[in-house]
Amino acid sequence: MMRPSSGLLVGLMRLLVGAYPRWLGCDPGPAQRIYFANHTSHIDTLAIWSALPPQLRATTRPVAAKDYWDKGLLRRYIANQGLHVVLIERAKEGRQGDPLQPLADALEQGESLIIFPEGTRGTAALPAAFKSGLYHLAQRFPAVELVPVYLENLHRSMPKGTIMPVPLICTVRFGTPVARIDGESKEAFLVRARDAVVAQA
């Protein structure tokens, strides 16, 4: 069910940066998916989520750092009431348990995810090397489609360290789902997944 604040968030994104979708390699169909993208700003999550049609937004949960999105009333409201975010703990010394378990729980419930495999925000137009989380989820959930997404212009609209976005037209490009290859190493898979995002740039 779409939350009351969801429409407001989508309208705000359209006003500020556009976040217009371009489905280049797949259609906005009902398949369960992991959308994975480059990460350069605090509004990347909102941009991808807003670019999805309403029926997909209702079943797609962004994955975000708990220490950021669970801080302050406004962020917490957006994360919980607007986006229905899957909150995860950042890697840190002494962390207990499987950090991917909240993501696995959501996938097991039939929901789709939005993730940023770099693990942190960058400053360049192209993504840095991917961390291993995407690989492990791909192995554990072989039926879930892996859709690469490239966020165009958000690194210029809201670069790291800024508070408000510069009003530039940004697009969200959805590429061809990345297939699994039997016997492929983790390193080769992660390079191929990153290349699939870069190909949409």
Alpha helix segments (H runs only) across 63-158: 66-69, 73-77, 101-108, 133-140, 154-157
Tokens of 95: 């962390």
**pLDDT at residue number 1:** 45
Report how far residue 22's alpha carbon sits from residue 25's, in angstroms, rounded to the nearest whole number: 9
Assigned domain for 69 exists: yes
Assigned domain for 56 exists: yes
Is the pLDDT at 35 greater than 50? The verdict is: yes
- Domain with 17 in it: 6-198
Phi-psi group of 170: left, alpha or beta (phi > 0 → left; psi -120 to 50 → alpha; rest → beta)? beta
pLDDT band (50, 70, 90) for residue 4: very low
CATH number at residue 103: 3.40.1130.10
Q: What is the pTM of this model?
A: 0.86
pLDDT band (50, 70, 90) for residue 91: low
Assigned domain for 59 exists: yes
Assigned domain for 30 exists: yes
Assigned domain for 1 exists: no
Sheet holding 60-65, edge to edge: 20-23, 171-174, 145-152, 33-37, 112-115, 60-65, 86-88
Number of domains in the chain: 1
Residues 6 or more apart whose Cβ sits within 8 Å of residue 159: 40, 41, 123
